Structure 1
Amino acid sequence: MFLKTVLASLVLVMAFSVTAFAETGESQTTVTPINSSVGIEKTVVPFHAPKENKLPWGFVEGKIANPVEGHPVIIQIYKNGEAIHFAQTTVNDDGTYEYKFRVRDFTDSRVTKIFEGDYIVKIFKVVYLDKDTTSA
């Protein structure tokens, strides 16, 4: 069941450009129990925003197989170990979530690159524990 949870919660982070995305195959997921029935599932995914990116938005999306109602998804973005961006988003009734963020801005004829280069994205979800789940 734990493997099903990991597979169901794989995350895609993308900056709306063919070359700006995180490979879900590179993600790492751990579950830390809070008590005997719920835990925190943490997924870590690398993210790359290329220098030549022309599009303005990026997003984090996924689906939680066993979400605990009333708990948001927490998203943290780091560059070189330093916190760059924190956010939270709600979980829909079907377990899906999505968070959009600006990677590039164009205001008053001036381009500002908010994200460029390599990042680590950490996604935290409160989930029900399966009896086969162990602390990782």
Structure 2
Amino acid sequence: MPREHHAALVTGEGAVLVVGGEHSTRGTLASAEQFDPARGTWTQAPTLHEPRGEAGALWLRQGTVLVVGGVNELGTLATSEEYVPATCVPMTCEARGPACGVAPDGCGATLDCGPCVAGALPGVEQGP
């Protein structure tokens, strides 16, 4: 998602973690994304607890991120939060069990699990 006034950090794997910020029409953001420069792809990451633009961020020893201060629609924030930057691992059709059609992957995208047979519901796990 396009954003400005966000915090960005480089992960140990060389990816770029982007948290919070502001969007021109949506306002202050709580969303986070991770950019993999080797693949040139963006993936969703867990959201912040509170929308924050212009916040500071730094890695903590345990692998979490301290996100401090910033602003949102309520004004200047005098709070901080410990952010856990686990990356989203997309679900596969095989992991969903006997599903068919288009189904959510759990990371904001969709899967195409193949054609549905008579009586099957698209994107819904079927019983044995």
Superposition TM-score, scaled by structure 2 size: 0.24
Richer in strand (by share): 1
Structure with higher RCO (Cα < 8 A, 6+ apart): 1
Larger Rg: 2
